């Protein structure tokens, strides 16, 4: 009986040793920094295989126990790739997600060490046959890229985009933001172009890269072109923010525009604020934005202010917002005494049914129209309208 028990224990220990040996001889994930992985991949001229995972991910556990230990999988990947795994719950995982936009775990990525470009990727749990098929597809694409590079008399794609790679190693990180080395940003014109074009979308990390290295991009493209690209992107971002009432994207857009130089910053910001607040039907903040703009701007944009007044009159009957609009219209008409400001002031008063006061301001508008040699027909119509309403 005792002998049988000892034999059972011996068999159990042998099985445990076999399992340990099998696991240790399975797919070899490098326990190294991202820079070291890139360097090894370049030296060996191999693509990189990245497995993302998390402690709560059941498909990850399944693949760790049933797929990656398979001898055929381990042999194929150890021979043809430099293998790396990223815990998406760690600091490096959050940075990796920022760069590669991991949408599902596990996400299996095959990366060219020449700049960190994705060769192919697939997320979700996979069988060992699917993993082998994915690896074969990635390897074929990588080899074709290397062949194409050689045919163009380029020693490798690495030399073209080596300095443009994104660092994950902690020594290259500050406040968990991606930083490019100065050498990278100044020596890779193709990468500069790629980032510049990608900065048309404020949800892209390329906007952060451009802003963190703005001087280098200004040297490459000129400040006017950079500002134009970011202002166009800001307009698209506001439209996107309106669709989902995304205050975070709205605030990010305003912050980015606030950091630009050599633009009419106050007017550009007001234009974006008015667009967003109108789109989200928040007339309180709409009126407040105009008020703040007038108070902090020495020479306000008359067209913006007048358009804002007309927009409030057309879209809301809220007395608080109309009263605020009346105050800024009164202030500006007194300060600048132009036909446009007087006319705008008058229509805001009409909306509040203050007809006597509106008539006086409309008469001043009529006088200014004559002085400024502006067609008075519009003002005459306004005076007739007030007389009828009275």
How far is 92 from 50, CA to CA, in rounded Å? 13
Residue 2 lies in a domain: no
Domain that holds residue 43: 21-162
Residue 12 lies in a domain: no
Residue 370 is part of a domain; what is its CATH number?
1.25.40
Out of 162, 178, 205, a domain closes at 162
The answer for residues whose C-beta is within 8 angstroms of residue 31's C-beta and 6 or more apart is: none
| Bridging pattern class, strands 117-123 and 82-87 | unpaired
Kindly report the CA angle at 160 between 155 and 165, in degrees rounded to 5? 125
Burial of 120 (0-12, 13-18, 19+ CB in 10 A): middle
Let me know whether 186 and 155 are in one domain.
Answer: no
Let me know whether 177 and 256 are in one domain.
Answer: yes
How far is 241 from 247, CA to CA, in rounded Å? 7
Instruction: Please say whether the beta carbons of 333 and 345 come within 8 A.
Output: yes
Instruction: Please say whether the beta carbons of 146 and 157 come within 8 A.
Output: yes
Out of 162, 190, 214, a domain closes at 162
Instruction: Please say whether the beta carbons of 191 and 184 come within 8 A.
Output: yes
| pLDDT for the residue numbered 270 | 95
Residue 5 lies in a domain: no
Let me know whether 185 and 295 are in one domain.
Answer: yes
Say what the pTM is: 0.52
How far is 119 from 48, CA to CA, in rounded Å? 9
| Bridging pattern class, strands 48-53 and 82-87 | parallel
Instruction: Please say whether the beta carbons of 67 and 127 come within 8 A.
Output: yes
Residue 355 lies in a domain: yes
Residue 29 is part of a domain; what is its CATH number?
3.40.30.10
**84, containing H or E segment:** strand 82-87
Closest CA to 145 of 76, 35, 39, 45: 45
Residue 16 lies in a domain: no
Residues of the chain with pLDDT under 70: 1-25, 147-191, 203-205
Let me know whether 248 and 272 are in one domain.
Answer: yes
Out of 138, 162, 186, a domain closes at 162
Let me know whether 216 and 283 are in one domain.
Answer: yes
| pLDDT for the residue numbered 196 | 82
Residue 351 lies in a domain: yes
Let me know whether 270 and 351 are in one domain.
Answer: yes
Let me know whether 176 and 287 are in one domain.
Answer: yes
How far is 79 from 261, CA to CA, in rounded Å? 52
Let me know whether 222 and 357 are in one domain.
Answer: yes
Let me know whether 326 and 233 are in one domain.
Answer: yes
Let me know whether 105 and 195 are in one domain.
Answer: no
Residue 13 lies in a domain: no
Instruction: Please say whether the beta carbons of 46 and 81 come within 8 A.
Output: yes
Backbone angles phi, psi at 284, to 5 degrees: -65, -50
Q: How many CB atoms lie within 10 A of CB 262?
A: 8
**382, containing H or E segment:** helix 377-389
Residue 291 lies in a domain: yes
Let me know whether 198 and 228 are in one domain.
Answer: yes
| pLDDT for the residue numbered 200 | 77
Torsion 9-15-19-20 (CA) sign: positive
**149, containing H or E segment:** helix 128-151
Please give the tally of structural domains in the chain.
2
Let me know whether 152 and 179 are in one domain.
Answer: no
How far is 172 from 38, CA to CA, in rounded Å? 14
CB crowding 304-335: b at 16 or more within 10 Å, else e: bbbebbebbbeebeeeebbebbbebbbbbbee
Closest CA to 48 of 56, 40, 60: 40
């Amino acid at each position: 009986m005792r002998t049988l028990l000892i034999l059972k224990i011996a068999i159990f220990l042998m099985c445990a040793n076999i399992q340990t040996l099998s696991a240790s001889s399975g797919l070899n994930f490098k326990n190294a920094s991202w820079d070291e992985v890139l360097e090894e991949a370049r030296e060996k001229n191999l693509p990189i295989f990245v497995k993302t995972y998390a402690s709560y991910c059941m498909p990850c556990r399944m693949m760790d126990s049933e797929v990656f230990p398979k001898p055929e999988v381990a042999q194929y990947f150890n021979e043809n790739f430099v293998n790396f795994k990223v815990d998406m719950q760690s600091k490096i995982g959050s940075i990796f997600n920022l760069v590669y936009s991991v949408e599902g775990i596990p996400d299996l990525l095959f990366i060219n060490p020449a700049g960190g470009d994705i060769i192919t990727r697939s997320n979700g749990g996979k069988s060992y046959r699917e993993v082998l098929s994915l690896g074969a597809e990635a390897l074929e694409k990588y080899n074709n890229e290397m062949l194409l590079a050689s045919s163009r008399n380029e020693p490798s794609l690495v030399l073209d985009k080596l300095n443009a790679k994104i660092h994950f190693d902690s020594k290259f990180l500050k406040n968990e933001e991606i930083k490019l080395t100065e050498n990278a940003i100044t020596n890779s014109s193709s990468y500069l172009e790629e980032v510049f074009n990608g900065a048309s979308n404020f949800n892209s990390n390329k906007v952060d890269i451009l802003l963190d290295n703005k001087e280098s991009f200004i040297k490459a493209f000129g400040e006017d072109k950079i500002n134009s690209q970011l202002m166009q992107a800001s307009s698209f971002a506001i439209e996107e923010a309106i669709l989902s009432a995304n205050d975070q994207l709205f605030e990010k857009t305003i912050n980015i525009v606030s950091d630009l130089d050599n633009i009419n910053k106050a007017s550009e910001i007001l234009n974006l604020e008015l667009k967003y607040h109108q789109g989200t039907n928040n007339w309180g903040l709409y009126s407040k934005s105009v008020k703040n703009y007038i108070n902090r701007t020495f020479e306000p944009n008359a067209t913006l202010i007048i358009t804002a007044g007309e927009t409030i009159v057309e879209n809301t009957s809220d007395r608080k917002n109309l009263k605020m609009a009346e105050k800024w219209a009164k202030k500006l008409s007194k300060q600048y005494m132009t036909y446009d400001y007087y006319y705008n002031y008058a229509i805001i008063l009409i909306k509040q049914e203050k007809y006597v006061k509106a008539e006086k301001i409309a008469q001043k508008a009529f006088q200014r129209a004559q002085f400024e040699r502006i067609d008075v027909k519009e003002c005459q119509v306004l005076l007739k309208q007030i007389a009828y309403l009275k």
